Amino acid sequence: MSDVLLARYADCIFWLARYLERAENLARILDVNETFSRDSHGGQNWRSIVQLNSDDERFFATHSAATAQSVVKFYVIDGDNPTSIVSAIRYARENARTLRPLISTEMWVQLNVFYNRLAALGEGDLMPGRLAALFGSIKEDCQTHTGITEGTFFRDQGWYFYQLGRYIERADQTTRLLDIKYHLLLPSPSAVGSPIDVSQWNALLRSAAGYHAYRRLHTANTTPARVAGFLLLNQAFPRSLHHCVREAGRLLGEVKSRYLLRHGNAAAEELDRLRGVLGTLDISTILGEGLHEFLDLMQQQLIAVTRDLSIAFFGYSPEASQAQTVTPQ
């Protein structure tokens, strides 16, 4: 009947996509860690996941050490931890409940069943021998969601805001993954070129589902710089920062012109600028000027984009948008 989209719905669908993307990324990271951490780096790797999510304080308030068992429990089934997979899917389902008039019944049913399954998991399901299968099924459930959405979600404004959420979250996740792993694996800039543990860099690529694509591109050695360059700047890799930023910018431009939305120019300009930066920089420049600083800046700018979208389209006042971008709904 009409092309209008409630501001609140746009907000919910944006975050629905983000929570699914977040859950999938977390499952990927935990999965790869579980598989590749049985070595000298093992303990440190589990600790790094806690750092990746900036959860040190909350995690160590209830756990004495970051062991495989405690970290997996904290990030998979702990409903009191807002950054756990079960929490992400619970938030996604709550958003989906609000969005039921908008989303397809298939989307809702799959999320409902997915959440009920996660909520029923206990510590017995986290035994080492069962983890790979569990992470596999979580990833698959997330991907099933993506597939059902692609195949059933009506292509109106809601679809654009859904995809915007997905790409912005994915961009953010990629920068966080690289940030923590890079510094863990390469503690000082002077260590560039020193012998490295290739298997760890391969693991990093695997957690971003980028190992095979990377191999096709770089048949020669795995180097930290090349891995970082691939994850940040490659234009064809669907989880690279550059790809995600370009897609987000394209989607925003399209939704604005197709539905004659007057607001959101600040976010559009910001995304455009970011895309320009990512298209001209090379990885050696980024590493030379400091990877961490660069990633931090990228994260800040993605937060700024989310804030602009919240004010322009989701009905937030400038003050409220500040809190909203850092706290899960």
Give 58: exposed, middle or buried? Use CB within 10 Å, 0-12, 13-18, 19+: middle
Distance CA 48, CA 64 (A): 15
Q: For other proteins, which is the closer residue by CB, 11 or 55?
A: 11
The answer to whether the beta carbons of residues 144 and 217 sit under 8 Å apart is no
Q: Which two tokens stand for residue 197?
A: 């543990």
Please say which residue, 216 or 262, places its beta carbon nearer to other proteins: 262
Residue 97 or 130: which CB sits closer to other proteins?
97
- We find the least distance from the C-beta atom of residue 81 to other proteins, in angstroms, to be 16
Residues near other proteins, by CB under 8 A: 1-2, 4-10, 94, 97-98, 100-101, 105, 108-109, 112-113, 116, 157, 161, 259-263, 313-315
Q: Which residue has the tokens 């694996």?
A: 185
CB 259 → other proteins: shortest distance, Å? Answer: 6
Contact yes or no for 226/282 (Cβ under 8 A): no
Q: How many CB atoms lie within 10 A of CB 38?
A: 11
What is the CB-side half-sphere exposure of residue 230 using CA atoms within 13 A?
23
**In the complex, minimum distance from the CB of residue 105 to other proteins, in angstroms, rounded to a whole number:** 7
Residue 7 or 217: which CB sits closer to other proteins?
7
Q: From the CB of 99, what's the least distance to other proteins, in Å? A: 9
Of 14 and 74, nearer to other proteins (C-beta) is 14
Least distance from other proteins to the Cβ atom of residue 114, Å: 11
Q: What is the dihedral of CA 128, 132, 137, 143, to 10 degrees?
A: 140
3-state SS assignment for residue 42: helix
Cβ–Cβ < 8 Å for 312, 267: yes
How far, CA to CA in Å, does 98 sit from each of 9, 76, 79, 150?
A: 8, 24, 20, 20
Q: Which is nearer to other proteins, 109 or 133 (CB)?
A: 109
Please report how close the Cβ of residue 140 comes to other proteins at its closest, in angstroms.
18
* Nearer to other proteins among residue 206 and residue 250 (C-beta): 250
Other residues' Cβ atoms within 10 Å of the Cβ of residue 161: 26
- Closest distance to other proteins from the beta carbon of 270 (Å): 18
State which residue, 10 or 177, has the beta carbon closest to other proteins.
10
* Residue 322 to residues 20, 37, 104, 305, Cα–Cα distance (Å): 22, 37, 31, 12
Taking the complex as a whole, the smallest distance from the CB of residue 119 to other proteins amounts, in Å, to 10
CA 206 – CA 200 distance, rounded (Å): 10
